[in-house]
Structure 1
């Protein structure tokens, strides 16, 4: 009788250890929605490198840490083209991806699952990724090309990120750039299945009783801001006028403006508030609608 083959080696990495802990720990030892603890030294080293997180108060910091534990438990990281994803890289993605969720959880005990539950995989590339694109024009001619991407998110699919762009986050915040937050804001937008630049709005948003009225109010603010930004980009490109502070990619479409503006909102609020005061109030109403007590002296 042949001996049974040896079991496959256990996966390595922080997220793999968290998943094993979750599955093996006695039920009585785990409280609902309570993630296993993250190593203090690892948490602090990644936290210290992201200065745009340092304005969070103690309650927000603790909530972010809990969200990251859930995120690392639920997601699986993969390195493309031989890239080895270590614990520091995984936690860097988690801290940035979970930042928009801090105030989105009052009606949902597990905001990570509620907003990011449509996928599992996160693929990190050692550089920009090349995506195959195809378009059929009015004459039926098929046009194919490759597009360079720093990140991509699709409804029901994995999130792709360029690791050099992720690692640049501590330095690119001054320009309002953050590829992780950008792609995960797309995931929030896609939570209702539609990439239109408007996330699912809660009941009573901005005082509106119906979802239709709330969406109309959202677009009444976001659309003119996007149109004005497009005009700034056009004037800069065609007539040599001053370039806008925000990444010109925001002019491509309304849903891209929502995401590009959103990344700037989270990593450089002061500069964003000067450039987009009306959008600031809109985003505050959605992303900061639950006030966590400030325990600072």
Structure 2
């Protein structure tokens, strides 16, 4: 039986991605729900804190838990190079033990492209060009033998109808976030997620009744004893745009009784704010001292007044 969501794949099967490093296997794998994908890179990271640590591959395979998913007849995608028969054999055997069909998906990106894609990767994820070419050659040579190895079907990635189900899943998530599915959705956290990312949502708390932002809505991000205070600005620059400010120490007076704010438009801004890297930002505006330009002008006015008094005393 063929799934309506994945037109060319059985509803319960093991999908083994086969391709050289840089072929795009992980990109393809990401079009399926994360719970269905067993990534060798991710598992290397789980056992060694380094997704590119090749020495941890054996340990990563040990925690693959493929056997348990096959026993439950769960649709599963294995995201790994898998260009050698020895790498594929235990995967096929695990599926066969539980009567699960095994589908080989060849990600046949040209070798030159695979090599080119190594350039932007971090050092621990970069595979030497000679190795990539050898992987690509092994993938090509493996194609005629895959059915004999026990695969029920061999497909090429380009033949999969993955864009439609991927967009469907993203659409459903977006609809749920907006509350258009009848649920509550993210509501007033929608903008928070868009600016700072969904990982910050569990730490976010609105602070009703707070007056530190001149009437604008105030929130707090807290984890243990560390926290940041933010204000939601609904008329940025007087142009009606939305944005967030983060509360910082006044850069002009350590004993200032007012509140100093600086724009925060990314998670990096929050990190820099808590780390003290924004304490001298030129964008800080204090409710007492104003911005940097205001303080500079005040200093100039004092200097001019002192000069006048000096000239007057000489006369």
Q: TM-score range by the shorter chain?
A: under 0.3
Name the structure with the higher helix share. 1
**Normalising by the residue count of structure 1, what TM-score does the alignment of the two structures yield?**
0.26
Name the structure with the higher strand share. 2
Structure number with the bigger relative contact order (C-alpha 8 A, sep ≥ 6) is 1
Bigger CA radius of gyration: 2
